[in-house]
Chains A and B, each alone.
Chain A
Amino acid sequence: MNTPEQRTDADLNAYVDGEMSERERAEMEVWLATHAEAAARVEAYRKQKEELHKLFDPIIDEPVPAVLSELIFQSRAAAPTSIGMRIVITLLLLITGAAGGWGLHGLQNSPQRTGLPNFVERAVGAHLVYASEVRHPVEVTADQEGHLVAWLSKRLGSPIQAPRLLSAGYQLIGGRLLEESSRPAAQFMYEDDRGRRLTVYVRAHAGGTTAFKFIGKDNVSAFYWMDAPFAYALTGDIPRQELLKVAHVVYEDLTP
């Protein structure tokens, strides 16, 4: 920091970018109040930042091109696939509590040491990968719903229905079989008339019933619950209240 009478370009930029201590900031503000030319430059730099965001932020909301998400997905095939290796990796994850790679820790209150049930992470991960798919979002499309449901029920070991979400404005596009720690899981995908996609992830769950729990981060959030014989996660990038409404529809439709 220079004397109160002198400020450099670097000072103006550090001020704009929040790279100053509280005290430096306060001193800068006093100084700027009497130096109109510098204050105008600070304002211009701020507007540049705003304009950058206006120009490029819409890209954040674009669906990720299939070719990019497929890359990540395909690279799984190159990972160790033997059951033995998977068990080792799963154990390591449990022991080190290393699951939760994209920072969901602390966003919810589950007492589990990994911070989040495995199936929720898997559900959100699968949502991120497949909901952005343009060409192959599902393995079996909704026009073969009978086949889809029979197939997934068989693999999951209990009869499962694709929840009907039309009353919430979401139409089934289809589903796919996934694996979670070498066990089968199912994903149903839905789309509304604006092209927004939700996924319902289902896997076998032996005991116990829980209330809805919520996790949210940046552009994706999920409600999840357990209701034997299944555990469910509803994932989407719509506002929490809207997602909760859909979660209730899913719950009611699946509960006899």
Chain B
Amino acid sequence: MDKKQAIIAEIPKLRRFARALASDPALGDDLVQDCLERALGRLHLWQKNTSMQAWLFTILRNIFVNQLRHAARRPREDPFDEHKDQSGGSAPMQGQRLMIHDLGQALDQLPEQQREVILLVGLEDFNYKDTAEILGVPIGTVMSRLSRGRETLRRLMDDGEHGGTPTLRRVK
């Protein structure tokens, strides 16, 4: 019973993360539903004294990655990671004139591996260590993806401000 209450208490944050990750409300809630079903089915695997929140986020993120592998919706690979897959996506800025109106649109331009780090650290307030555990990568990888992602976002937003029309929203 208490485990279930712990899960219920995490649903709002799971929905926030899932929607940001999937950039779509319906897809986001589908993700949360898959995540809850899986978590309830494996509740015996959750270890007491570990964070229920981190456990649920790990499950949700893994479901998302598996779905992406099938759908290939956006570049999954971070083009600057070592051991880069040759078929990995292209860097978002190359030769494109992008009209960026807000951070949401800028986020959509990022490779998935940078986006998820930015969301876990910047939105969900996980520390680097927990983020590394959720993603199953070393802390150094978390930090380098975060650095590159934020820098790309900054340039995208700058372009939006200086190169766009006067109606573009200024990020405050």
Give the interface of A toward B (CB within 8 A).
9-10, 12-14, 17, 19, 41, 44-45, 47-53, 55-57, 59-62, 64-65, 67-69, 71-72, 75-76, 89, 93, 98-103, 121, 124-125, 128-129, 217-219
Q: Decide yes or no whether B16 CB sits under 8 A from chain A.
A: yes
Q: A101-B3, A121-B5 are in contact. Are A9 and B147 (CB under 8 A)?
A: yes
Q: Decide yes or no whether B60 CB sits under 8 A from chain A.
A: no
Question: Do A10 and B2 touch across chains, with their CB atoms under 8 A apart?
Answer: no
Q: Decide yes or no whether B63 CB sits under 8 A from chain A.
A: no
A sample of 11 cross-chain residue pairs with beta-carbon separation below 8 angstroms, ordered by A number, consists of: A44-B150, A48-B122, A51-B103, A52-B118, A59-B12, A59-B16, A59-B19, A72-B40, A103-B6, A217-B9, A219-B12
**Chain B residues with CB below 8 A from A121, complex form:** 2, 5
Q: Decide yes or no whether B81 CB sits under 8 A from chain A.
A: no
* Nearest CB in chain B to that of A181: its residue: B1
Question: Do B9 and A41 touch across chains, with their CB atoms under 8 A apart?
Answer: no
**Chain A residues with CB below 8 A from B157, complex form:** 44, 48
In the assembled complex, the Cα of A50 lies from the Cα of B103 at a distance in Å of 10
Interface residue SS majority, chain B: helix
In the assembled complex, the Cα of A125 lies from the Cα of B2 at a distance in Å of 9
Question: Do B103 and A125 touch across chains, with their CB atoms under 8 A apart?
Answer: no
Q: Decide yes or no whether B67 CB sits under 8 A from chain A.
A: no
From 1 to 56 in chain B, residues with beta carbon under 8 angstroms from any chain A beta carbon are 1-9, 11-13, 15-16, 19-20, 29, 32-33, 36-37, 40
Question: Do A52 and B103 touch across chains, with their CB atoms under 8 A apart?
Answer: yes
**Chain A residues with CB below 8 A from B128, complex form:** 14, 17, 19
**Chain A residues with CB below 8 A from B171, complex form:** 47-48, 51
In the assembled complex, the Cα of A103 lies from the Cα of B52 at a distance in Å of 11
Pick the 7 closest A-B CB pairs, nearest first: A101-B2, A9-B147, A102-B9, A51-B103, A59-B16, A101-B6, A52-B123
Question: Do A45 and B154 touch across chains, with their CB atoms under 8 A apart?
Answer: yes
Question: Do B8 and A128 touch across chains, with their CB atoms under 8 A apart?
Answer: yes
Nearest Cβ on chain B to A129's Cβ, whole angstroms? 7
**Chain B residues with CB below 8 A from A76, complex form:** 4
Tell me how many residue pairs across A and B have CB atoms closer than 8 Å. Answer: 130
In the assembled complex, the Cα of A101 lies from the Cα of B6 at a distance in Å of 6
Q: A64-B15, A65-B29, A72-B40 are in contact. Are A47 and B172 (CB under 8 A)?
A: yes
In the assembled complex, the Cα of A55 lies from the Cα of B104 at a distance in Å of 7
Question: Do B19 and A67 touch across chains, with their CB atoms under 8 A apart?
Answer: no
Which of B1, B4, B103, B171 has the most chain A CB atoms inside 10 A of its CB? B1
In the assembled complex, the Cα of A49 lies from the Cα of B146 at a distance in Å of 12
In the assembled complex, the Cα of A64 lies from the Cα of B147 at a distance in Å of 34
In the assembled complex, the Cα of A55 lies from the Cα of B15 at a distance in Å of 13
**Chain A residues with CB below 8 A from B7, complex form:** 72
* Nearest CB in chain A to that of B36: its residue: A71
Q: Decide yes or no whether B119 CB sits under 8 A from chain A.
A: yes
Question: Do A60 and B151 touch across chains, with their CB atoms under 8 A apart?
Answer: no
Nearest Cβ on chain B to A28's Cβ, whole angstroms? 15
Nearest Cβ on chain A to B65's Cβ, whole angstroms? 20
**Chain A residues with CB below 8 A from B37, complex form:** 71
Q: Decide yes or no whether B102 CB sits under 8 A from chain A.
A: yes
Question: Do B150 and A48 touch across chains, with their CB atoms under 8 A apart?
Answer: yes
Q: Which of A9, A52, A99, A129 lies in contact with B151, CB distance below 8 A?
A: A9
Q: Which of A51, A69, A89 lies in contact with B8, CB distance below 8 A?
A: A69
* Nearest CB in chain B to that of A114: its residue: B2
**Chain B residues with CB below 8 A from A48, complex form:** 103, 118, 122, 150, 153-154, 157, 171
